[in-house]
Amino acid sequence: MKDTNACADDTCRAPVSQRTQVVDAPGTSATVKLKIDDHELNIPMGTTILEAARELGIHIPTLCHHDDLCVAGVCRVCLVEVEGQNTLQASCAYPITQPITVKTHTRKVRQARRHIIDLLLSKHYGECYSCFRNNNCELQSLAKEYGVDFFRFGHPEKPLYEVDRSSYSVVRDMNKCVLCRRCIRTCIDLQEVGVLEAAGRSDGTTISTYLDKPLGEVVCINCGQCINRCPTGALRAKDRTDDVWAAIDNPEKHVVIQTAPSPRAGIGEEFNQEPGTPMTWKMNTALKRCGFDKVFDTNFTADLTIIEEGTELILRLYKNLVQSDSSQPLPQFTSCSPGWVKYIEHFYPEYLPHVSTCKSPQQMFGALIKTWYARMNNIDPANIVSVALMPCSAKKFECNRPEMRDSGYKDVDNGLTTRELAQMIREAGIDLPEMPKSDFDNPFGTATGSGVIFGSTGGVMEAALRSVIEFVTGKKVENFYDHANIIPVRGFEGCRYAELQIPDEVGPVPELIQHLVPNWDWLKGATLKVGIAHGTANAKKVMENIKAGGKFSECHFIEFMACPGGCLGGGGQPIPTSPEIRAARARAIYAEDAAYGDAGKARKSHENPAVLRLYSEFLTNGPCGHKSHHLLHTHYTARGKYIG
């Protein structure tokens, strides 16, 4: 396989020291001398004072700065004193281009920072005890760090703004906003959605939507990335834990929960564990002690998604390449990310026919819970409460979409974020890291390594390729890739393009899909072209490339994820987030996949025995058959209108 990094993340989100290029020429140098708090060093020209201080282990407080975002320098909390300059300088936005001497903790600096924090508090209405960011609020931490013991410049006595609860996913409370503009930079620069903007000037500035409309009425894609970067409680996910507790406490309700892989790789951070500490099996025990009747693995339907989506891709290829039927156009886009689906609905609706009709694993699970599972266990679906633990705030919107009721009921009743489940576990008096391990419940406790890696960018593509390679060649994917690890589709580049050469020798069509295609002769020697993008800013690059007739337009299959890093960087994951934290979570996911292989368990979706049982007992028409289409797929017309 050949892979090409087509377009990486916007360079404005890389640290200055990594993105500045200085060309050696006569009379110039690539480094510059810096003295900071009695430390002397040579640093790359263009490095900011803040970056240099961090390299030396010198703490400078920040508020508007975030490792994922462009430099803003608006809060001024990171002020330092530069010798020879009358005014203090924002260290996050000061690139060093000549030798300077910096003091980071003089009396003048300390007083200025304290006054800035006092001014921020004078506009920040809220009571810390009832705030979901209590003990994880950057403003609260700064107030403690700088010894704030009274409100020097006053404090709001009542809220000035009505809390916006119009969205299924995100709650906005501008009374707690400190105008750091992280949410704006996240929405405009990181995601390129552009829902939020600064309105007004001076002390009349507010963070607003278009025409100050409620969030539920604008083109918000519900990704929740603004929540993950907000330093206070001005943005939060809409919490439904009270509804879940009420269901658990109701003896007439049968409450089941499905858990996705990314929360299991991230929830440990809520309990002071290092990022990337896996909690899968301990969390199963904690959930049962919380009172859930059954704990299931979303990876089961991730495997099911691969079978359905992979079959759909094969059918699209066959129709386009053999039958010259373009009614289901290529490339096929993944549909697992509800934030991405919302993005394409808003910004590229003409491309909706390219989106796979497959529901996400969450929604496939919900449909099966209230049909197959209910029938097997003789439970009235009306008494089943289906809960989904997801890393994603957009999943809350997804489960409330009107089309997600193919079981005859609301397929998934409530979506919980990783943060919300952590709070439930704490409420139950459970110390998660100390829990014994336990397995998932049947019949949805059997999954594969391919289901696990769905959580990382490139994971859906890798899982699909593992199965497609074996479907077409009749050989083990390990014959082509060591330990079935398809490395070319892994990584955190913003966009990735890869090519897979299908050999001239192909195998027989597997029994599971023999009714759909007669043979693989039409694929002999063909080149399968695939693409991957994570974060909607990168999705936009790929879509514009497709519109311009670029190389992504030649792809057959493209994986899109709305969130940076994929699901492991979702808007419902623990706060804070950073490239390093997301990379640690990814390592946990891939380690769990490898552990499946080490334990002799299946790592390919089509080898999942529980999924095969599902097809033999329930979805008897096979993948993309009539029954699976009814329960597991949605349908769009060429105009993008949902038709059933």
The catalytic residues are 309, 312, 336, 356, 395, 398, 403, 567
Q: What is the dihedral of CA 328, 333, 337, 342, to 10 degrees?
A: -70
* Identity of the amino acid at 569: G
**Sign of the alpha-carbon torsion through 198, 127, 239, 117:** positive
| CB-based contacts of 333, cutoff 8 Å, min separation 6 | 344, 351, 354, 355, 356, 558, 560
* DSSP-derived 3-state class of residue 199: strand
Whether the Cβ atoms of residue 568 and residue 586 lie closer than 8 Å to each other: yes
What's the rounded Cα separation, in Å, for the pair 492 and 490? Answer: 7
380 contact partners, CB below 8 Å, separation of at least 6: 374
- Sheet of strand 254-259, all strands in order from the earlier edge strand to the far edge: 294-297, 254-259, 384-390, 414-417
> Angle 418-427/241-248 helices, nearest 10 degrees?
50
Contact 247, 382 (CB under 8 A): no
Token digits for 638?
Answer: 């060429």
**C-alpha distances in Å from residue 55, one per residue of 18, 49, 50, 106:** 13, 10, 9, 20
Report the alpha-carbon distance of residue 154 to residue 123 in Å, rounded: 8
Classify 107 as helix, strand or coil.
Answer: helix
Helices 338-347 & 536-547 angle (0-180, nearest 10): 40
Tell me if 231 sits within 8 A of 207, measured CB to CB: no
On the 0-12 / 13-18 / 19+ scale of CB atoms within 10 A, 149 is: exposed
Q: How far apart are CA 226 and CA 220, in angstroms?
A: 11
DSSP annotation of 508 reads: P
Question: What DSSP string describes 12-72?
Answer: GGS-HHHH------TT--SEEEEEETTEEEEEETT-BHHHHHHHHT-----SS--TTS---
Name the percent of the chain in helix, strand, coil, to the closest 5. Answer: 40, 15, 45
Q: Identify whether the C-beta of residue 494 lies closer than 8 Å to the C-beta of residue 537.
A: yes
Q: How many other C-beta atoms can be found within 10 angstroms of the C-beta atom of residue 503? A: 15
DSSP state of 77: T
Strand segments (E) across 518-638: 527-534, 557-561
Locus of tokens 């110039």: 28
Q: How far apart are CA 457 and CA 8, in angstroms?
A: 13
294 DSSP assignment: E
Rg of the chain over all Cα atoms, to the nearest angstrom: 26
Query: Is 58 in contact with 39 (CB distance < 8 Å)?
Result: yes
- What are the structure tokens assigned to 500, written together? 């897979």
What is the identity of the amino acid at 249?
D
